């Protein structure tokens, strides 16, 4: 079941969903953008970008069990953007970014009667019409996840696109999960960088 904006507000209030900083205002206000659609909440672009090197030195072996995030970080250049100095995303260019917001979907106590939440990160139509993909093939945010959300961004449009921090870049759809799942944290649990490097550097 997909949560409406009213139910998203309730989930934020009771701690089943945590978004830091919490988007606001919750209701449409004259002169201010309301980030809550009827069943979505906007997420914004952080200032840290990761630009894969043009001469990427290796071929990825998907059977290799080594940490993907570490390999990406070692072979990418960091870029910090500001409102005064946005990043110019050229046609066909692929980069990694992250949301400014940290998302938490706490696991619920099986005896509490509360349902866990999962979420999906999706693009926004106003960005897609420019040819901007902000994620692909991996929209799922699993129950128990905590961290920023990585954005796999590519410009498939006809013109360059300027990326500035704080711009509404994606939207989150929140869903209830039937039953309390067994914990199975992903390799990106606790990530704090576009590549998925963890807070503790693991």
CA distance 153 to 51: 10
Q: What tokens were used for 202?
A: 């693991």
- Predicted local confidence at residue 198, as pLDDT: 64
**Burial group, residue 89, by CB count within 10 angstroms (0-12, 13-18, 19+):** buried
Q: How far is CA 3 from CA 10, 98, 171, 173, 179, in A?
A: 10, 24, 13, 8, 17
Is the entire prediction scored with pTM above 0.85? Answer: yes
- Predicted local confidence at residue 201, as pLDDT: 43
Could you read off the pLDDT of 142-164 as tens digits, one per residue? 999 999 999 999 999 999 999 99
CA distance 35 to 15: 19
CA distance 47 to 45: 7
Which of 6-10, 60-64, 126-130 is predicted least confidently? 60-64
- Predicted local confidence at residue 202, as pLDDT: 39
Query: Is the pLDDT reported for residue 110 higher than 60?
Result: yes
Residue in the structure block whose two tokens are 């290799």: 64
- Predicted local confidence at residue 65, as pLDDT: 60
- Contact predicate 164/45, CB 8 Å: yes
Provide, rounded to the nearest whole percent, the portion of the chain with pLDDT above 70.
93
Q: Which CATH superfamily is domain 5-176 in?
A: Deoxyuridine triphosphatase (dUTPase) (2.70.40.10)
Give the catalytic positions in this structure.
152
């Amino acid at each position: 079941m997909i949560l409406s904006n009213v139910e998203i507000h309730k989930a934020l209030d009771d701690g089943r969903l945590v978004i830091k900083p919490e988007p606001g205002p919750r209701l449409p206000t004259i002169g201010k953008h309301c980030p809550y659609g009827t069943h979505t909440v906007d997420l914004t672009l952080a200032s840290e970008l990761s630009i894969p090197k043009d001469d990427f030195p290796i071929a990825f072996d998907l059977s290799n069990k080594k940490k993907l995030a570490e390999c990406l970080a070692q072979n990418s250049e960091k870029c910090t953007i500001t409102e005064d100095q946005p990043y110019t995303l050229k046609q066909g260019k692929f980069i990694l970014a992250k949301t400014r917001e940290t998302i938490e979907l706490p696991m619920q106590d099986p005896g509490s009667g509360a349902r866990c939440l999962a979420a999906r990160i999706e693009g926004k139509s106003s960005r897609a019409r420019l040819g901007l993909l902000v994620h692909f093939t991996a929209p799922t945010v699993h129950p128990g996840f905590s961290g920023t959300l990585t954005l796999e961004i590519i410009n498939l449009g006809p013109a360059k696109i300027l990326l500035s921090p704080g711009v509404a870049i994606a939207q989150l759809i929140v869903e209830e999960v039937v039953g309390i799942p067994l914990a199975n944290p992903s390799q990106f649990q606790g990530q704090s960088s576009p590549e998925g490097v963890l807070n503790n550097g693991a």
